[in-house]
Structures are given as structure tokens and as C-alpha cells.
Amino acid sequence: MRSMRMAQFALLGVTVALLGYLVVLALFPGATPPAPFQWFGAPRNSPTVAIVVITVGLLCTTSYLIRRNRASATVPVVIVVGLLGGSFVLGLASYWSCRRDADIFFFTLFEWTTSLVKGGVENQTISVNGADVPCPAGPPAALTVARLMVLGAFSVGVIGVAAAAFRLQADRIRAWLSKSVTAVVGVDEAGVSMVTAIARESARHGALVLLTAAPDGPVAQLCRAKGARVLQVDFDHPETMGSKRFWRKVYRLYLLSPDPSTNLRRLSTIGELLGDTAVGRRTPLSVRIDDPWLAIAWRAEQFGGSDTRWAGDAVGKYEVTARRLLDQITSVGTITQVLICGSSQLTLALCADMSRRRLERDYHPLEAESDLPKLVLVDEDAKRYLDDHEFHERARGFGTSAVAIDIVEDAASETVLRALVEGQEGRAAAIFVDSVTDPTTATRLAARFPALQVYAWDPQSTVAADSVPIAGKLRNYRLGIDLPDGQAHDNWERAAMLIHEKYVAATPEAKRNTPVTVPWANLSPFYRESNRRQVHNALRTVEQVGGHTWNTWGDAPDELTPEALDGLEPLDQLQRLGFAEDAIYAMAQAEFEDWSRDLRHEGWTYGPERDYVGKHHEKLVDTWADTFRDEALRRAALRSLATTLIQLRELGYRSKPKWLPYRRVGEVNARRRYRPWTWTTTSGDVMRASAGDWDVRDDADARWSVRNDVFRTSYRRMRGSRWAAAGVVFARAAQPGETIETLEGPSTTVEGDWVVMGDKGEQWSTPDAKFTNRYIGPVSFQERFEHWKTRNER
């Protein structure tokens, strides 16, 4: 951008100089440039006109491209005004000689020039010795350039009007032509601030596209000003939300409606639009869920949920605000305690964020960082909120809270807070959450203790927590989802950042001169994406190949510590994590093939030594079989897999065994139905099949529905309506009374039922007798992997 700005100033100087010289020649026709440029500016000289017009065109184009506000009409208007103003000066100078040749009134020249600027192309004449003579004679190059500049101004105006009229169509075409898309769905005014952070990230990953029902509304205009392409959709009619081809290009998806149920409904619609598209990699997904408890519950459901297409995380105004506040406080370095005044959802978010910070610092402590401050909950309900926080910490498998939290069961009044702050105001901070109704308490506290960091919630505030202090060290803040600069957009990217930073810190200083050993902020987009890919692929392969689930919500923390795994061989480490040996090799193969495909796509090839410039890698052999036969490469592949899973475990993401692979067997009768219909499970649940689903019956006349894309990968035709089951699934024993979210609706299990998971993460339940007839196993994880790989590559 800086080089473009310098080019703009250079072009502006050249343009002014050229136009100024044409004006001089028009006023003084006898003037000529020095040799060998006598030709420049001569009447009817085409090269002169071409040079000036091209220079003016480049100046206009550059000014348009580097405009800051993409939706503003200011720059196009300035271009039009500049072209018309320049043509007026050139035209007036061209007609000026007519005043010397005849007794022409000044306002006649002004009228001629105005006619020229309005688009007039007729030649003016003057009377000389009774004859009409064209004036100016020649004509000078200035007049020709003036006419072309008028034409350019009108062209810019017409194009601007057409672009405004067909802006939605143009945005749709640009989104369709983009190789990669960052999609934002349903943003409101509170979410516009987050679009700024999204726009910075999406600049490296294709077009930023906003899908909204109000493309001409103020929110859409603000997003367009940040560079977003705006597509109009009707969320009640999925066919308006784009084609499968569009959604397959989505690099990252944000669902930012303030209503979480609306976001999840739209996510379901997008999943249906994708249909049978192969799930080659988990796509980063951010769903707006403001309530911290609901966000935690949804994350737990995503871990081991039925939809394995997304690497999902939640973002909400309380969690983001808590992050901003604690970023500001911990950056001071001298704060030893934070008073949280009042009780609200923000109180829970602040406690959870501080626990996350403690976990991350235990994983990768930085020398320059001071210790985290202690939290003090000051409210009549402080004990209940502390109990809620500790319950969630235990349910996540962290045991007791990782941070020190004290409580003061009293109202956050000035008297109570003064007693807590007295004598340590320089080492304390106070956050007044959004439940505090008396704003004067924060003001009086800040006035009495000028060294105390005070953050007061103000619903009318238009600034974030890192604003300039108002009085003393009092800052107002608002609730919002505006992510700070440089912050990860979800927990998975945060994990990738921390894993990389720890890797760099463990690398000897003498070896930190490679493109992969620089800090995250200096890492190239390719290597950043490579780190994200490794985390996302670990999420995918652990569930879909290794038979584990990431959902450990409610499980007691296990005793397996990083110290217990140190010194073990990678295979032993992975077995201690609960993976079967054939599952371990299948997961390592899945990671190798995803990694090698990623590198080959970027032009890397095999080489005996690693070469970052020539893009050669010593581990990039042709196939997994080559890796497996080479003991050093095999150990390196297992070590990489084990290291990633252990690091994720240290960051709080544990997996546990849940599924075993079984092979489908038997034959069924099936026919496809093209209208919605219902059927009833053995437990009495009414299931709803969609148009296009298959009506399947076995020889015992049991009946169920299968979505078309799932049916095509699960059965092969025998004859007529007779189909044979094929492939390998995952299965586990069901807990009596648990609810399974199937494609047709929720189903409740009974004693003896099994839960089965198909290739695309879809789940269903079946009674034990039917399970025994339809599935054989357990079979090897390698067989499951080969089947999954074949289906996934279609």
C-alpha cells in the first residue's frame, strides 16, 4: 500500500506538469520544448495526447485502487470532479487565443468552455475579414486532451451508476470466481466490529463474503466498506444461499447472528447444501453464542458430535470482552489481584478466561510474563458463581480451578471495595460487570484511588476496553465481539499458535534461522496454514480413524501426566493415550498423506536434505509404504503424531476411546422417495425423512430412512430394488435413555441398543438383535481407515 501511495504522488506530479505544459502551449502557441522533444505538444500530435491520457488514466486508476473506504463514493466523485476541472482549465486556455485574434468577450470564452465540459464537440469560429475561421486553429493538443478528459469523466460516472445498480450481481460474480471464500452469515451491528478482524485475516485467503437478507442496510454497507462482497439471501429458502460449488470453496465460516439457535439452523442448512461433498479437511467454524454456559456446552457437543465437517468453536460478546479486559490488565505486569464487582455472565467469562490463561502458561511459560493475578468475586451471589465456575472446570476434566479465586459475599459498594483496595491500589484492578446498576461507584473509586485500574461497563460506550482513561485510570468499556489485533479467531488457531511458539522456544538459538523457526507474527501464510492444518487434521483423524471422541465433558480427570509419557517411544506414548496399534498406524498414515498432499500442492518435492528455498523435503517420499519401510521415517511420523496429541492434551483437549470398527453385512430392499415422509423407531420416536431419501427395509420388515448421499456410499446395487450393505462403520454400546441426534431427528435409546456412526459422521441407533444381523466385527482399524479413505477421496 505504501508503494502504491508513492506511485500515486509521483503520477500526480507528472500529470500536473504535463497538463501545465499543455496550458502554456495553448496560451503561447509559439513556445516549444527543448530538443529533441519539439514534437511534444504540437497540434494534432497523437503521441502527445496518448502520453497525457495514459498518465491521467493511471493516476485515476491508482487513486481508485488504494482508497480506504471501499464502499464510499468519495474517490470516484473526486476523480470525476478532477477530470472535469482539468478539462475546464485546458479548454479555457485553448480558447484564450481567440480573444487575441478577434474582439471576443471573456464570457463568450467561458460559455464555449462550459459547453465543452458539458460534452460539446462542435468547433467554435470567429469572424476574420468577413470570413468564419475556426478557433482555435490546429486545434492545440490541450483542447483534444480536454475533450477526452470530459469523455472519461462521463464514462466514470456512467460506470459508477451501473456498478451501484448492479453491485449485488457484481459481488455474486466475484464471489463465484474466487478460489477461496471466507463466509460471514447474518452479522448485526454488534458483530460489524468483528468483521474488521475477519477482513484482515481473509485478505490472505480469497474473498470475504457477507450473506445477508438486507444487502442495502447499514450493516451491509459497513461490511462492504471493509472489503466484503455482499450476497442477498433468503434464509427461509435455502436455494438462495448459494450452490454446493460455492460452499466447497469456503475456507472459514462465521455464523454471527445474535440468536444461537438461528446460527445452528443455518449451519444445518449449509450442511444440507454441501450434501455428499467429501469431507477432506475440517473447515474452521465460528458460531456466535453469547451465553458462556451455552458456548461451553456447544463446544462439548461438537467434540464427538455427529458433524465432523467443521472445526467448530464459539465466539460471544462476554467471552471476547473478558479476553480484552484481561489482556489489558495482565499487560500492566504489576497487577496482583482483580476485583470482579457484580455477578453476570461476564463474571463467569472472566473466570473461565483466567483459567484458560493459566493452562496456557503452564504449557508454555514466557520469561517476560509476570504471574497471573488473583481474582476476587465481590457480590452477594459470589459463592454461587464460584461454585458454577468450579463445576464447569471439573466437567471439562481440569479438576479444581487452575487459578486462585477468592470471594466476598457482599454487595460491591464503595465501602466494601475501599477496604479491599486500601494500601494496594497500584497492584489492583477493578472490573464492574454489566449487572452493576450504580455507575457512580466506579467513578468515586477511581477518583479516590488514582493508581487503581478501573473498568466500568457503559452501554452507551462506543470504545473497547483498551480506550484512553477518562479520569485517573478509569476506562469505560462495552460488550462486543471485536477481536483484538493479532488474536486468534478460535481456540484451534490459538492452539496452533501456542504449539508453534513452544516449538520455536525449544529450538536452539543457532538453528532459528529457518522460515519455520520464526515467531508466529513473522511466520509466512503457508507455514501458518500448515500449523493450523496439523491441528485440524488431528481433530479429524482421532475421531474418524482412531475411534476416539474429543467429548470428555463430565469425565473425571485421568492420572496420565506429560511426565509419565516423557522418555517413552512414540508408539508406547500413543498406546498409553488409549489407541490400538493398528489405529495408531492408520492415524499416522492419514496425517502423512494429508501433510504430503499439502506440500506437493505448494510445489515441494523429495530431496535428501531439506531446502526451504528449493522446496525439497527429506520426508516427502512417494507413499506411506515407503515411510513405513524406513525405520527412521516411521519413527518420525509416529513421533509427530504423538507430539501433536500430547500438546493438545496439555492445552486441555483430551480424547478417550469410544468407537470400534464393524463391517456392514446383509441385503435390503430400498427405493427412493421424492416427497417427505415419516417412520417410527422401535423405541417409538417419530423420524422425519426428507424428499429424496431412501426407504429401506430388511428381510425382517424393519424400516428406516437413509439420506441419498449416505445411501450411495453405504450400499451397492444387486438387482432391481435389492441392495447389499457395504463398508465399515464405527459403533459403540448405547447408554439407556441417551438422545442421539440423527439426520432424521432425535432418537432415544433403550437398554441393549447400539449407536452407529457412518462415514460422514452421521449417527443412528439400532437394537442389539438387528445390530448383530447387520454388522460383523470388530474389524481392524486399518480396514476402517482404508474404507474411510476411499469414501473421503470421492
The CATH number covering residue 179 comes to: 3.40.50.720
Run of H or E residues at 718: strand 715-719
Per-residue confidence (pLDDT) for residue 62, from 0 to 100: 82
Hey, what's the cell of 86? 482539468
What residue type is assigned to position 294 of the chain? Answer: L
Same domain, residue pair 189 and 49? no
Backbone angles phi, psi at 685, to 5 degrees: -75, 135
pLDDT in tens, 527-563: 998 999 999 889 888 988 999 988 887 777 777 888 8
pLDDT in tens, 377-400: 999 999 999 998 888 888 776 655
More confident site: 368 or 695: 695
Run of H or E residues at 132: strand 131-134
Neighbour count for residue 264 (Cβ, 10 Å): 15
Q: Specify the pairing of strand 405-408 against strand 374-378.
A: parallel
Hey, what's the cell of 254? 462465521
Q: Which of 762, 763, 543 is nearest to 658 (CA)?
A: 543
pLDDT in tens, 623-668: 999 999 999 999 999 999 999 999 999 888 888 898 999 999 999 9
Does residue 116 fall inside a structural domain?
yes
Same domain, residue pair 528 and 648? yes
DSSP-derived secondary structure for 171-219: HHHHHHH-SSEEEEES--GGGHHHHHHHHHHHTTSSEEEEEES-TTSHH
Is the pLDDT confidence value at 128 over 90?
no
Per-residue confidence (pLDDT) for residue 569, from 0 to 100: 93
CA angle 537, 538, 544 (to 5 degrees): 85
> Any residues with CB less than 8 A from the CB of 541 and at least 6 apart, and which?
587, 590, 591
Helix axes 141-165, 46-65, angle to 10 degrees: 30
Same domain, residue pair 505 and 614? yes
Please state, in angstroms and rounded to a whole number, the distance separating the CA atoms of residues 520 and 527: 9
Q: What is the rounded end-to-end Cα distance, in angstroms, of the chain?
A: 42
Does residue 160 fall inside a structural domain?
yes
Same domain, residue pair 560 and 674? no
CB 434 within 8 A of CB 404: no
Same domain, residue pair 15 and 160? yes
Same domain, residue pair 530 and 637? yes
Give the model's confidence band at 376: pLDDT under 50 very low, under 70 low, under 90 confident, else very high: very high
Name the domain boundary from 657, 691, 723. Answer: 657
Backbone angles phi, psi at 18, to 5 degrees: -65, -45
Does residue 484 fall inside a structural domain?
no
DSSP bridge partners of 546 = none
Hey, what's the cell of 447? 477518583
CB 347 within 8 A of CB 385: yes
Q: Which of 465, 408, 460 is nearest to 431 (CA)?
A: 465
Does residue 483 fall inside a structural domain?
no
Is the pLDDT confidence value at 301 over 60?
yes
Per-residue confidence (pLDDT) for residue 670, from 0 to 100: 95
Same domain, residue pair 261 and 241? yes
pLDDT in tens, 80-91: 888 888 888 887
Run of H or E residues at 353: helix 345-363
Give the model's confidence band at 65: pLDDT under 50 very low, under 70 low, under 90 confident, else very high: confident
Please state, in angstroms and rounded to a whole number, the distance separating the CA atoms of residues 172 and 229: 7
Is the pLDDT confidence value at 207 over 60?
yes
Per-residue confidence (pLDDT) for residue 276, from 0 to 100: 58
Domains held by the chain: number: 5
Does residue 150 fall inside a structural domain?
yes
- Which domain, by its residues, includes 259? 167-316
C-beta pairs of 748-754 under 8 Å, 24+ apart in sequence: 748/683, 748/685, 749/683, 750/682, 750/683, 753/683
Name the domain boundary from 442, 477, 512. Answer: 477
How large is the average pLDDT for residues 15-30?
A: 81
Q: Which of 396-405, 516-525, 616-625 has the lowest mean pLDDT?
A: 396-405
Name the domain boundary from 300, 316, 332. Answer: 316
Name the percent of the chain lying above pLDDT 70. Answer: 88
More confident site: 630 or 203: 630
How large is the average pLDDT for residues 187-200?
A: 80
Q: Which of 569, 778, 537, 747 is nearest to 658 (CA)?
A: 778
Does residue 707 fall inside a structural domain?
yes
In angstroms, what CA-CA distances link 8 with 61, 333, 468? 9, 44, 35
Does residue 767 fall inside a structural domain?
yes
Same domain, residue pair 610 and 623? yes
Neighbour count for residue 280 (Cβ, 10 Å): 14
Give the model's confidence band at 587: pLDDT under 50 very low, under 70 low, under 90 confident, else very high: very high
More confident site: 466 or 471: 471
Same domain, residue pair 512 and 648? yes
Does residue 485 fall inside a structural domain?
no
Report the half-sphere exposure of 602 (CA within 13 A, side-chain side): 18
Site of grid cell 432425535: 746
Sheet with 310-315, side-by-side order of all strands: 229-232, 207-212, 181-185, 250-255, 283-288, 310-315
pLDDT in tens, 216-261: 888 888 888 778 888 888 887 877 787 778 888 888 899 999 999 9
Question: Is-above-0.85 flag for pTM?
Answer: no
Same domain, residue pair 366 and 287? no
In angstroms, what CA-CA distances link 84 with 21, 78, 81, 93? 18, 10, 5, 14
Mean pLDDT score of the chain, rounded to an integer? 84
Name the percent of the chain lying above pLDDT 90. Answer: 32
Is the pLDDT confidence value at 687 over 70?
yes
Same domain, residue pair 352 and 295? no
> Any residues with CB less than 8 A from the CB of 597 and at least 6 apart, and which?
none
pLDDT in tens, 148-169: 888 888 888 777 766 666 677 7
pLDDT in tens, 740-754: 888 888 889 999 999
Per-residue DSSP letter, 509? G
Same domain, residue pair 525 and 428? no
Per-residue confidence (pLDDT) for residue 225, from 0 to 100: 78
> Any residues with CB less than 8 A from the CB of 111 and at least 6 apart, and which?
none
Is the pLDDT confidence value at 794 over 60?
no
**CATH code assigned at 332:** 3.40.50
